[in-house]
Structure 1
Amino acid sequence: IALLGNPSVAYLDEPSSGMDPGAKRNLWSAVSQACNSGTSIVLTSHSMEECEALCTRLAIMVNGEFKCLGSAQHLKNQFSKGYLLTIYNKSKSKGNPTSTSVNSDVVQTRINYFIHNNFQGAYLKEKYQGLLTYYVPQTRDLKWSSMFDRVESAKSLLGFEDYSISQATLEQVFLSFTKPYDEQTQNDYN
């Protein structure tokens, strides 16, 4: 209703809250269309996915106080504290099905050794069905290109199938701002 009549400014407070995915996408299309036709949209949301899909500038507010302002990419660059390195370890041993887990464990041990020797402060964050997700802290001398170069050169040596390197998500940036507040609130209740 807020978008009827081509307003010059529309204020939307959590517009897709409680919507199913199909309705949410339709709403996002309508908001994008309104934006493209010249309407300025001010949107509040807890959904970082929604913010990333619709917003050109974001402000993160915690406890009534603005913490940052900028584009989604600017906030990721400025406030993310590291990278996620996911390695697809689908090692299989032909013939004997029981040796698959042994071979996979050997490959994982080699991968762990490689990660710890090449990326200072990295640690295994999650392990699930052959997917190994490592958190790699951002340092001054660590560049995307050198990360890709190191992992690509180790791929065939270590025997893993594939990998991906990604920047922290907008959700993780948001949570990094709210975490100190959540911890303080928890302490207030104790």
Structure 2
Amino acid sequence: AVERIIYKLDLQNHCERACGTYSGGNKRKLSTAMALIGDPGVVFLDEPTTGVDPKTRRFLWDVLIKATAEGRTLVLTSHSMDEITAVSTRVTIMVGGKMRCLGSLQHLRSRFGQGLTVIVKTEKGADPGPAKNFILHEFEDSELIEEHTNMMTIRIPQKKVLWSQVFKALQDGQQRYHIEDYSVSQTSLEQIFIMFAHGQEAINDSDLNYDREAAEEELERSSSMKI
């Protein structure tokens, strides 16, 4: 079991050395190996990739993903939104020592997201005004967030529009309004975290109570929880 975990964490060239001489990345690998040895059913990890280089970080993510595929439940804390997105199936956000929400990434985006973000780039030399006015008039309550030369960012409340409607409108108006390129995305996990941390009024007590009830029902249907 020890040799297997050494090779799994790529520590075979360092296993004869004192751990105090390890680099930061290898120390993180060693910590992960110690947590996984013995094939525990539940593994708790605190900031497992803090301070490591991007290559080692992705290597450790792969190790954690494989561990969940083998049937283990991982409970980890992290301030890295990329890490949470890469390895998590369920996420909880804690503010002031209290769990404020719990659910899948898509559930949190749908429940607490601020809508769709549309980034539009108009053709060089073209007047961006018509494209901007087209989008703002096409989608009710849409808001111009940022504009710079031929680039603009517009937020559209998702509750009032479907993804397909946004893509269809942009595609239909692409040639007429000289749109060179565009992208549509949901509210990021980082934006949702900041929203909770700042205690925005948009998230009221009834929303949080509903989310806790939904989370409890989800946990009852599941035999394990991966965060």
TM-score, normalising length: structure 2:
0.68
Number of matched pairs: 167
What is the rounded CA distance, in whole Å, between the counterparts of 2:89 and 2:36 in structure 1? 18
| Residue 162 (structure 2) aligns with | 143
What is the rounded CA distance, in whole Å, between the counterparts of 2:56 and 2:72 in structure 1? 21
The amino acid across from 2:137 in the alignment is N
Question: Which ranges of structure 1 fall in alignment gaps of 5 or more residues?
Answer: 92-102, 182-190
The amino acid across from 1:57 in the alignment is R
Selected match of 2:106 from 70, 73, 94: 73
Q: State the percentage of identical aligned residues.
A: 38
Seen in structure 2, the aligned counterparts of structure 1 residues 18 and 129 have a Cα distance that, compared at 3 Å, is farther
Asked whether the equivalents of residues 12 and 42 of structure 1 are also in contact (C-alpha less than 8 Å), the reply is yes
1:20 shift after superposition:
1.2
Higher relative contact order (CA 8 A, sep 6+): 1
1:34 aligns with 2:67: yes
Point out 4+ residue stretches in structure 1 off by more than 6 angstroms: none
Asked whether the equivalents of residues 57 and 71 of structure 1 are also in contact (C-alpha less than 8 Å), the reply is yes
What is the rounded CA distance, in whole Å, between the counterparts of 1:136 and 1:57 in structure 2? 26
What is the rounded CA distance, in whole Å, between the counterparts of 2:143 and 2:93 in structure 1? 28
What is the rounded CA distance, in whole Å, between the counterparts of 2:195 and 2:135 in structure 1? 24
What is the rounded CA distance, in whole Å, between the counterparts of 1:115 and 1:133 in structure 2? 11
The amino acid across from 1:136 in the alignment is I
Selected match of 2:174 from 141, 150, 155: 155
RMSD over aligned CA atoms reads 1.7
1:23 aligns with 2:59: no
Superposed, 1:37-186 pairs within 5 Å as 37-91=70-124, 103-104=125-126, 106=127, 108-128=128-148, 130-140=150-160, 142-180=161-199
Question: Which ranges of structure 2 fall in alignment gaps of 5 or more residues?
Answer: 1-33, 201-227
Seen in structure 2, the aligned counterparts of structure 1 residues 147 and 180 have a Cα distance that, compared at 3 Å, is same
What is the rounded CA distance, in whole Å, between the counterparts of 2:116 and 2:67 in structure 1? 35
The amino acid across from 2:96 in the alignment is N
Q: What secondary structure is seen at the aligned counterpart in 2 of 1:177?
A: helix
Q: What secondary structure is seen at the aligned counterpart in 1 of 2:153?
A: strand
What is the rounded CA distance, in whole Å, between the counterparts of 2:192 and 2:141 in structure 1? 19
The amino acid across from 2:199 in the alignment is P
1:90 shift after superposition:
3.3
